[in-house]
Chain A
Amino acid sequence: MSVTANETGSIERQIPDRLKSPAQRFLASWELLLLGVAVAVFTLNSFASPYFLDAWNLSDATYNFTEKAMIAFAMALLIISGEIDLSVASIIALASTAMGFAVQMGADTSVLILVGVGVGLLCGAFNGVLVTGLGLPSIVVTIGTMSLFRGISYIVLGDKAYTGYPSSFAFFGQGYVWWVVSFEFVLFVLFAIFFAIVLHRTSFGRLVYAIGNNPVGALFSGIQVARVKFVLFLLTGAMSGVAAICLTSRLGATRPSIAFGWELEVVTMVVLGGVSILGGAGSIPGVVIAAFVMGMVTFGFGLLNVPGIVMSIFIGLLLIAVIALPRIARQVLARGRG
């Protein structure tokens, strides 16, 4: 490796900046592979069902992933930093319950937004304090708060439901910005751009990667590890609050079982997007593509009248397959060489 393009006969040894160009890296990337899967799913779907390639149907299909993906963006940062939040679906339940309660108190739409995001932030702060302040493992803490947050919703609501949301509130989950482009989809795109910039273009994002790869080394480099992680819990809580607003608006009602089981779908989306569950690696574009893949699969199966349980079996298999494939490929290659 001593002879490189940069060494044009100069005596001084110089190390080149990059070994591979960004384009070369992209060609060997997880994101490209995933993009291939997305195209394949899209093509299969359009052959499988004549209703798939319809603008309004496709627009409807985006609702399968927009809310989950918004949480997944924040979750991606959290998982890259080496933590996880399994309470996100329960935060939705609690935030939605709080919004429903506020409606009963006569709150208008702007107050509902504040309540939704505010409850999300509070829940995130609660998780963050337990993990970073007391040094507890996040997987245990958030399994606990998963039961806690939803439990509160059940106590408040029982088998009742909050309804009667103001009509202006419906826009968040049911409104369209232009033609078939829903407000939620626009929000999804904006948050994708926002989180991609935060993770890939700011020094905060760099700290997230550093902490995920080596938290002790990050501490010894002067990074305020606990503070960064706390901010990530806050972000994840806030995004769960945003998802709660969209979902509640779309359904027009709050039941304590709202968004039940979403935490697993969110984590699946993140991991499918190439984020290392061990922390330290992953990208927002990967999560965006994974969101489309999961949404398309769900939608396609829906058009084919495949029952929901089969869908979740398929998603589970897909997850195991995409995680196992690179490892199997590496072993096969190694054996071939040996």
Chain B
Amino acid sequence: MLANMQGVSEVHSQSGEKIEPLLSLTGISKSFPGVKALSDVSLELYPGRVTALVGENGAGKSTIVKILTGIYQPDEGEISIDGRPVTFSTAQDAGEAGVTAIHQETVLFDDLSVAENIFIGHAPKTRFGLIDRAAMAEKARALLERVGAQIDPAVTLRDLGIANKHLVAIARALSIDAKIVIMDEPTASLSHKEIEETYELVERLKAEGKAILFISHKFDEIFRIADRYTVFRDGQMVGAGRIDDINERELVKLMVGRSVDQVFPNRSPQLGEEVLRVVGYSHPTEFEDIGFTLRKGEILGFYGLVGAGRSEFMQALFGITRPSKGAIRIDDEIAVIRDPNAAIRHGIVYVPEDRGTQGAIKGLPIFQNISLPSLKETSKNGFLRLAEEFRLARDYTQRLDLRAAALDQDIGELSGGNQQKVVIAKWLATKPRVIILDEPTKGIDIGSKAAVHEFMAELAAEGLAVIMVSSEIPEVLGMSDRVIVMREGRIAAEFNREEMTPEHLVRAAAGIAEVRT
């Protein structure tokens, strides 16, 4: 219904004449094995205009950025610049066509100078084909001036602060004399003053006639600097238009507006006694004053934007990092968790978000992954008993409906969803009391997703206390009995089942006023 909004509003310049889009994407689709990342989306960018791209995590924003910068090629659809169709087979093609991107975490080289960072790959050359250092320094100085940075181009990048590094990244992006500038959450890790400077820069780029795609989760800045908006949801474009024609509430609705009771298991939670109480957990840089309780059979959701400190807090709870302050009670007894081993002993286990490096131990077979934290039980006097390990692996993989050729298959050969099942099986085999699932369904296929949800509900029904960190609103709403929203390292709000609405969550996470606590 909303798809027909595209292109409805023509864009006019101040004098009233119609402006043609500088870049337009039409009918773009992109699939990955098991997932359709984008389906038939369109996007238009206009010269001298800032278009905000809005959507939940996983809505397809980063996929479209990668298509625009030539990293991915679309399965279907057309990209045109100035009305002429183009194809980007490589990142270089995109650069030559005038597209440049400033990423949230730009890859820069710490040990090179600022000027070298700006011009790496396209440094000005002398007659002999050597790098013309004088010209490079000169051009770098001009570029840095343009982005409003007072940085000596000869300085080594390592010596700059994060904000100045960011400005170097922007200068680098501009060194490719781009017509189209993509800014992917440019203010995510900046302080207030630096954010203001970034806005000024955006204004300057606008005045120069660049077409800007601005990706952000922060509503205040979207309404402040964007001229137009495009909303993605589940890989589809669900709305686009002038920012003046929409308000925050409507934008949030577009972002999250879908029925959430689709695939989630029906639960009637039976809450038991309290198992976990966290008081005043703090960390010098990542989170502050986190406190909550958790009961048997409960699924507690943790929602927030990327970088809100949820994973960092969970890893402290699991003993990977140590808190600077705070205490934990488990079953009314104070528990001191100095390392993961202690957490496991107290019955707290953690299924990490970064499955590839923190969860699965690739190179070891499935059954050895599962028995790893339970070796004390499966072995006898320190000697392995393979039969016991296989039995453990059989029991838990069967419950999780694992798909694999054999239990001695390398876990690295499995699909993401099945790897996740093995990691969950590994922890269940330790018979935990509290299981923390950090983005448990991120990047796994729909089928495995449903299986993980189903299983999570089963576990809660058996009396396990579950903490689920998720950035997917439908998942949070569909699974949680209670939700804690974190923002900038603190608890921003807590909602029970009745108060849980997509609007409440998004508002609390983004720090929009009128949040009920």
B6 within 8 A of A: no
Say yes or no: A1 contacts B405, CB within 8 Å: yes
Q: Is the CB of A16 within 8 A of B406?
A: yes
Contact of B358 among A19, A202, A220 (CB under 8 A): A220
Assess whether A167 is interfacial by the CB under 8 Å rule.
no
State the CA gap A202–B362 with chains docked (Å).
20
A223 within 8 A of B: yes
- Cα distance, A213 to B365, chains bound together (Å): 11
B375 touches A203 (CB 8 A): yes
Most-contacted residue by chain B among A202, A218, A221, A280 (CB, 10 A) = A221
Is A201's CB within 8 Å of the partner chain B? yes
> Are B408 and A216 touching (Cβ within 8 A)?
no
**Cβ–Cβ contact A222 & B344, under 8 A:** yes
Contact A15 B394 (CB under 8 A): yes
Whether B443 sits at the interface, judged by CB under 8 Å, is: no
> Per DSSP, are chain A's interface residues mostly helix, strand or loop, or mixed?
loop
**Interface stretch of the complex, out of B80-88, B227-235, B335-343:** B335-343
Is there a chain A Cβ closer than 8 Å to B32's Cβ? no
Stretch at the interface among B35-43, B296-304, B379-387: B379-387
A29 contacts the other chain (Cβ, under 8 Å)? Answer: no
A220's contact among B352, B363, B401, B406, by CB below 8 Å, is which? B352
- Roughly how many angstroms separate A217 CA and B373 CA in the complex, as a whole number? 11
Q: Taking each of B364, B373, B376, which has the highest tally of chain A beta carbons within 10 Å of its own beta carbon?
A: B364
User: Given known contacts A1-B405, A203-B375, A203-B376, is B340 in contact with A219 (CB within 8 Å)?
Assistant: yes
In the bound complex, residues from chain A placing their C-beta under 8 Å from that of B408 are 17-20
Q: Are A213 and B362 in contact (CB under 8 A)?
A: yes
Interface residue? A224 (CB, 8 A):
yes
A residues near B361, Cβ cutoff 8 Å? 210, 213-214, 217-218, 221
In the complex the two chains form, is B407's CB within 8 Å of A16's CB? yes
Residues of A near B398 (CB, < 8 A) are: 12-15
Bound form: Cα–Cα A2–B51 in Å? 50
Chain A nearest CB, measured from B418 CB (Å): 11
Question: Does B367 have its Cβ within 8 Å of any Cβ on chain A?
Answer: yes
B11 cross-chain contacts in A, Cβ below 8 A:
none
> Are A18 and B382 touching (Cβ within 8 A)?
no
A18 touches B384 (CB 8 A): no
Contacts of A239 in B (CB 8 A): none
Q: Contacts of A223 on B, CB cut-off 8 Å?
A: 341, 372
Q: Are B407 and A280 neighbours in the complex by a CB distance under 8 Å?
A: no
Q: A213-B361, A213-B364, A217-B359 are in contact. Are A17 and B341 (CB under 8 A)?
A: no
Question: For residue B339, which residues in chain A have a CB less than 8 angstroms away from its CB?
Answer: 222, 224
Q: Which residues of B contact A12 (CB under 8 A)?
A: 398
Q: Hey, which chain A residues are within 8 Å of B394, CB to CB?
A: 14-15, 17
B473 in contact (CB, < 8 A): no
CA distance A214 to B402 in the complex (A): 22
Chain B residues whose C-beta falls within 8 Å of the C-beta of A281 in the assembled complex? 363
B344 engages A19 (CB within 8 Å): no
For chain A, residues 175 to 223, give those with C-beta under 8 angstroms from any C-beta of chain B: 201-207, 209-210, 212-214, 216-223
Whether A15 pairs with B404 at a CB distance below 8 angstroms is: yes
Is B406 within 8 A of A206, CB to CB?
no
Known contacts A14-B398, A221-B372, A222-B340; is-contact A203 B384 (Cβ 8 Å): yes
Contact indicator B340/A15 (Cβ below 8 Å): no
Residue from A204, A210, A214, A224 in contact with B382 in the complex, judged by beta carbons closer than 8 Å? A204
Are B409 and A19 touching (Cβ within 8 A)?
yes
* Contact flags B294-326 to A (C-beta < 8 A → 1, else 0): 000000000000000000000000101000000
CB distance from A43 to the nearest CB of B (A): 35
Contact B357 A203 (CB under 8 A): no
Flag if A17 contacts B406 (CB, 8 Å). yes
Residues of the B chain whose Cβ atoms lie less than 8 Å from the Cβ of A210? 361, 364, 368, 372
- The answer to whether residues A17 and B367 also contact, given A202-B379, A203-B379, A220-B352 and a CB cut-off of 8 A, is yes
- Bound-state CA distance A14–B360 (Å) is 22
Q: How far is the CB of A24 from chain B (nearest CB, A)?
A: 11
- Chain B residue at minimal CB-CB distance from A14: B398
Q: How far is the CA of A14 from the CA of B403 in the complex (A)?
A: 9
In the bound complex, residues from chain B placing their C-beta under 8 Å from that of A280 are 363
Bound: A106/B397 CA distance, A:
64
Chain A neighbourhood of B379, CB < 8 A: 202-203
CB neighbours of A213 from chain B (8 A): 361-364
| A68 smallest CB distance to B (angstroms) | 28
Task: Given the known inter-chain contacts A18-B407, A18-B408, A280-B363, please indicate yes or no for A202 contacting B383, CB distance below 8 A.
Answer: yes
How far is the CB of B417 from the nearest CB of chain A, in Å? 15
Q: Which residues of A contact B373 (CB under 8 A)?
A: 221-222
Contacts of B359 in A (CB 8 A): 217, 220
Q: Are A206 and B405 in contact, CB atoms less than 8 angstroms apart?
A: no
Q: Is B390 an interface residue (CB 8 A)?
A: yes
Q: Is B426 an interface residue (CB 8 A)?
A: yes
- Closest CB of chain B to A266's CB: distance in Å? 24
Q: Identify which of residues 1-40 in chain A touch chain B, using a CB-to-CB cut-off of 8 Å.
A: 1, 4, 12-20
Question: Which of A19, A201, A202, A214 is within 8 Å of B406, CB to CB?
Answer: A19
B375 contacts which chain A residues (CB < 8 A)?
Answer: 203, 206-207
Contact residues in B for A16 (Cβ distance below 8 Å): 405-407
A323: min CB distance to chain B, Å: 18
Chain A residues with CB under 8 Å of B357's CB are: 214, 216-217
B28 to chain A, nearest CB (A): 31
Q: Give the distance in Å from the alpha carbon of A205 to the alpha carbon of B358 in the complex.
A: 20
A19 CA to B390 CA, complexed, in Å: 13
**Complex alpha-carbon distance, A69 and B459, angstroms:** 51
Identify 29 residue pairs between A and B in the complex whose beta-carbon atoms are under 8 Å apart, listed by A's number.
Answer: A12-B398, A14-B398, A15-B405, A15-B406, A15-B407, A19-B406, A19-B409, A20-B408, A202-B379, A203-B376, A203-B379, A203-B382, A206-B372, A209-B364, A210-B361, A210-B368, A213-B361, A214-B361, A214-B362, A216-B357, A217-B362, A219-B340, A220-B320, A220-B352, A220-B359, A221-B373, A222-B339, A222-B341, A222-B344
| Chain B interface residues (CB < 8 Å from chain A) | 318, 320, 339-341, 343-344, 350, 352, 357-364, 367-368, 372-373, 375-376, 379, 382-384, 390, 394, 397-398, 401-402, 404-409, 426
8 closest pairs, A vs B, by CB?
Answer: A213-B363, A19-B406, A1-B405, A203-B375, A222-B340, A217-B361, A214-B361, A220-B358
- Other A-B pairs beyond A214-B361, A221-B340, 13, CB < 8 Å: A4-B406, A13-B398, A13-B401, A14-B398, A19-B409, A201-B383, A203-B376, A203-B379, A206-B372, A206-B384, A214-B360, A218-B361, A221-B426
